[in-house]
Each structure stands twice: as C-alpha cells, then as structure tokens.
Structure 1
Amino acid sequence: MMSIDAHIAVVLGAVLLDLVLGDPRALPHPVVGIGELISALEGPLRRMVPNVRLAGVLLLVITVGVSYALAASFVYAAYLLAPAAGFVVSLYLAWVSLAARSLHLESAKVVQALQSDVPAARLALSYIVGRETAELDEPEIIRGAVETVAENTGDGVIAPLFYLLLGGPALAIAYKAVNTLDSMVGYKNERFIEFGWASARFDDLANYVPARLTGLLMVLAAPLCGLNGGGAWRILRRDGRNHSSPNSGFPEAAAAGALGVRLGGANRYFGKIIEKPTIGDPLLPLSRESYAGVVRLMYGSEALLVAGWLAALALVGVI
C-alpha cells in the first residue's frame, strides 16, 4: 500500500507534470484503452443481452471494474518489483487522469484564431463543443470557449483530482472510465438512449460532489484571480441549476458570476435552434478577457483544492 508521503508526492508530481507538459499524447494512454474496450464490448453485449438497458448496465460495470482492477494491479505489481517502479507507475496514471493543461491549450486555439481568422476560430471551437459553430460571431465563439472551460474544470480537472486525492491513481482512472463511457454512449439518441442510460446516470452521480465543489472553489478562487467572488457566489446560488445537466450548471454559474457575463441561451444543433436557460447577468461583454479570466479560475480552483487537501492532512496530524 502506498504511504501517505508517496501519495502526496504522486499528487503533487501529477499536477506539476500536467501543468508543465499537458497530456502525454506520445505515450500509451489509459483513456485510449478504455475507449477501445467500450467499442469492443458494445456489439457483443447488445447481441448477448436482449434487454438493451441491462446490456448498458453490464457495459458500465465491466468497463469501470476492468479499468480500476488493471490500474490497481499495475501499481501493485510495480511496487512488488521495486518501490521506485511503483511510484513511477502511480505517478503516470495520476498524471494522465488530469487535463487542465490540455483544456487550456485546446480552448486557447479558439481565442488565438480570433485575432486574425474568425472561420478558423469557428472550426477550432467545433472540436471542443457539440453545437454548430459555422455562423457564430466573436462574442458567441467566446461564449462557447468560456462555457467549455468552466464546465470541464469540473469533470476534466477537479473531479479526477478529487478522486485521485480520495483513492489514489486507480480510483482516478476508474473515474476517467465513467467519464469516457458518458462521452461515448451517454447520448439521448435512438442508438444510445437505452444502452447508454446507466453510463449517463452514473456519470451524473460521480460528478455530483465534484461539480458543486468546483463551484465553491471558483467562488473562493475568484478574488485571488482578480475576479468577483461575491458575484460568483450570488450567481452560483441563483443559477446553478439553470442547466439540462444536474452538474454542469454549478461551475458555469460560478464562472459567469465571477466574470460578470451571461452564459447559456440559444445554440444550434443539427440545424435546429435550442433555447437553453441563461446563466449569469450581462454586466460585461463576452470578450477575450472573459476567456482569460475563466482560465485563471480553472487553475486557481485546482490550486485551492490541492492546498486545502494538504491543509486538512496537516490539521489531522497526518503530515
């Protein structure tokens, strides 16, 4: 079993590696393997289990179970080989579970393109959002980037870090399996509405605490980031549930309040305009400064979670 000192070193090392290097795309990535497992299981489960919803439940159980078991086994076997090997494997699995740097880099491509090429910015945005982007003007492109960073601060940064702190690399990888399942089969279309039901609902459950924690962390981080902490708290309380997702509205509301902007509203999907509830008040226009602010909130929230965890360990005398 990993000592508390090793666990702290793994967490701090993983956060640092993610901040400096981002996602190690050139190395084997557990999420790629998880995605391949999901794709490989879908056909056989649909054929073998007549009840489509039950087949989806089995997909969830098998995928998350295998992901956790393999991650835990790799760590255990590496520690048996040598403590240094166990530490390295733990560090790598923790590192690839975090996505702050990647989220920053991918969203920054949108804003950077806006400086000279709006069509290129629309295209870059289309890679990170589900809405149609071909006709968006600059404020709407910025809104898409801000909403993406705010929402994914919850499920791409704070949630995996929360589970890493709670249960080590294996639990963080299990969370990534849940998140990957939702992104692959958690759609409300004819193909997945029944098969992906369990994955979508379990993703909601897994993100319930982290999403609300993200909102609170953003409130606390806002004044440290030169933003409006009081506004973040007010809009979090007022508009945190103004979203079709039971979780995504909390980080988006805190971000909107901190930035003094309005998020939500009309989006176009498959040629049809969908009116979504608005989040926040339009005190300031959506601008590149809004995007820079939400990126600071993301990093500030992550730093506060790590600092709070270390303070709690010190308070109880663990360190």
Structure 2
Amino acid sequence: MSEVSVLLLAVILDLLIGEPPHRLHPVVWMGSAVEWMRNILGNSRISGIILTIAVAAPFTIPLFLINHLQDPLNLIISSILLSAVISIRMLVTSALEVGGSLKEDIEDARRKLSMLVSRDTTSLSDEQITSAAIETLTENITDSVTAPIFYFILLGLPGAFLYRVINTLDAMVGYLDSENRDIGWFPARLDDILNYIPSRITGVLMVPAALLLGMNWRGSFRILLRDARRTPSPNSGFTMAAAAGALSVQLEKPGVYVLGDPCDGLDNEKLLDAVKLSSLTLILFTLAAAGVMLVIP
C-alpha cells in the first residue's frame, strides 16, 4: 500500500465529506476518554503522565494491526481513519460562516465565533471578530492538518493519532488555572514539542503561498521573522504572523498579543483572503508531504 495514496485519498475524503458523525468521531472519543480518566486521577504532574499514556495507548497501538490487512482494504480503512484526524473542510467552513454572518447579523457572528475561540466574544466589534476568525483559522491549520500529516509521514497512522491525542489533551487540560496546571503540564509540554517543527514549516510555506496569490509575500516573511514569537504559545504565532504580513493587517488578541502592521483594515474580504491563503498553504504542504514520501519510502 502506498502511504502517498492514503494521504491524498484522506485529504480528498475530508474535502468532500468533512467531519465524521459525532458518535463515530475518534477525536470526540479521545475527548470523552480524557474527561473520564481525569475524573479518576488526582491533579498532579504524575497524573498528567498517566493520563497521557492511558488515553494514547488505545488510540494508537491497535492501529499497527491495520498494516497486516491486504489492499485495497488497508488503503480504504487507513484513508478513512487519517481523514478523521484532519479538518480542512471544517476549518474553512467555520471561517466562512463567521464572515457570512458578520455581513448580516453581528450577534450571530459573535455566537458562531464563540464556538471557535476561547475569548469572550459578546462585545467584539466587526474588526475584532474578523481578526479572531483569521487568527483561529491560521493557527489551527497546524493543529488540525499539517501536524497530523507531519506525524503520519514520520510514524504512519499511529503517529497521526498520537499527535491528535496529545493535541486534544492540551486543548482540554493544558491550562494554567489551579484545576489544570499540574495535570495538564505534561501534555501541554508534549504538544509544544510536537508542534515545534510543523508550525514553523507551515508558517514558512505561507510565504510562497502569498507570492502565488499576489499577496504581500515580502511582508509575510518580514512579519513572520519579527512577530512569530510574540504569542504565549511557542508555536501558534508562526502561521498567524505570516498570515498577518501576507494580508497587510494587524491581528490582535487584546491584552495577549499584537501581530502585524495595520496597513489595511480588517473586513470580510480580508477573511476571504485568509481562507485562500490557508487553503493554498495546505495544498503546498500536502504536495510537499507527498513528495517527501515518494523520495524517502
């Protein structure tokens, strides 16, 4: 079975079908496992290590058995499973829905945005909503697409699922509040480590994507170098900064970070441009990933 075929078919499946039904979604199952296990374990760093291993094992070890299946069953099952842990269509659709609502009903746009970001959206202005939508889109192309593919290249299907387990753990317990600070320390550090290379590759690929789209590719590279480390996360700023430069806009999470220069205003056209930029970046990443797998079996 060709790993390249699995990757390309998985991307096509995600684009055509999108997310699996909620009751069949492996990431939903991961979240349920995390919630169940953390209720059993105490809030300590040792508990965080145990939680990570206990959730990761059942979602990765059985996947090694798929390699023993014969084609085309191996190809079909592997492609379906890989498509379930990447989320291209959902990311793009979510951003477009916020933009569409913003033109008609700002309250509906705030409501839809609140399902995508952790910040309070109840009093955000049009520009703040647009900024937040661009931020979450460009940040999450690493978490939801390029990082799972990166670890699929390195470790096969178990690698992609292992990454998503760690990323889900970080999203659920990787916070600094008293309830999560200790138990979430280990998965949060692992998530930072696992995202280190994919986030930087994705941010760099935004520069040629901007060039191909006729956007500000020089600004993309300049802001990437200048602002990528201004976010609390060691990784999320790379794609957001590159996008801010390419779009010639300033992205801001009040009181947390400011990325880019306010050369142009933030409006729905800029959000649409961010969707185009993110989409082409993902195409370039997928083609590069396929090329690497062909050259290095």
TM-score by length of 1: 0.89
**Any conservation in 1 of the 2:4–2:294 contact (CA below 8 Å)?**
no
State how 1:246-257 maps to structure 2 within 5 Å. 246-257=234-245
The question of whether the paired residues in 1 share the 8 Å contact of 2:98 and 2:133 is answered with yes
Deviation at 1:306, TM superposition (A): 2.0
**How far does residue 226 in structure 1 lie from its aligned partner after superposition?**
2.7
Deviation at 1:201, TM superposition (A): 0.9
Within a 5 Å distance, the mapping from 1:74-89 to structure 2 comes to 75-76=66-67, 79=69, 82-89=70-77
**Uncovered stretches (5+) of structure 2, i.e. residues with no partner:** none
SS at match of 1:264: strand
The answer on whether the counterparts of 2:3 and 2:293 sit within 8 Å (CA) in structure 1 is: no
Tell me which residue corresponds to 1:151: 139
**How big is the shift at 1:130?**
0.7
CA distance, structure 2, for counterparts of residue 128 and residue 222 of structure 1:
25
Tell me which residue corresponds to 2:218: 230
Tell me how far apart the structure 1 counterparts of residues 41 and 257 of structure 2 sit (CA, whole Å): 37
Q: Where do 5+ consecutive residues of structure 1 fail to align?
A: 267-274
User: Once structures 1 and 2 are overlaid, which stretch shifts more, 20-29 or 246-255?
Assistant: 20-29
Partner of 2:101: 113
SS in 2 for 1:207: helix
Question: 1 CA distance for matches of 2:105 and 2:253?
Answer: 25
C-alpha deviations, 1:203-223, integer Å up to 9, x for none?
Answer: 111101111111111112111
Among candidates 9, 15, 19, match of residue 19 of structure 1: 15
SS in 2 for 1:83: coil
CA contact (8 A) 2:231 2:257 kept: yes
Counterparts of residues 1-319 of structure 1 (less than 5 Å): 3=1, 6-25=2-21, 28-46=24-42, 52-73=44-65, 75-76=66-67, 79=69, 82-266=70-254, 275-313=255-293
1-structure distance, mates of 2:137, 2:28: 22
- For residues 45 and 314 of structure 1, what CA distance do their matches in structure 2 show? 44
- Structure 2 SS opposite 1:37: helix
The runs of 4+ residues in structure 1 deviating greater than 3 Å are 310-316
The structure-2 alpha-carbon separation of the partners of 1:189 and 1:27, relative to structure 1 and needing over 3 Å to count, comes to: closer
Matched to 1:300, the amino acid is: L
1:269 corresponds to:
none
8 Å contact 1:71–1:93 — kept in the other structure?
no
Residue 145 of structure 1, CA deviation: 0.4
Deviations 1:74-95 (A, max 9, x none): x246x0xx42222221111111
- What's the TM-score, normalizing by structure 2? 0.95
* Cα distance in structure 2, aligned partners of 1:314 and 1:86: 19
What amino acid maps onto 2:277 in structure 1?
A: L
SS at match of 2:258: strand
Q: Which has the larger radius of gyration?
A: 1
TM-fit CA distance, 1:34 = 1.2
Shift of 1:313: 4.7
**2:155 partner letter:** G
Identity among equivalent pairs (%): 36
**How many residues align structurally?**
297
Tell me how far 1:142 sits from its aligned partner. Answer: 0.3
Q: 2:157 & 2:23 partners in 1: Cα distance?
A: 17
Residue 118 of structure 1 and its aligned partner are, at CA, apart by 0.8
Distance 1:217 1:289 in 2: 22
Distance across 2 between alignment mates of 1:310 and 1:71: 21
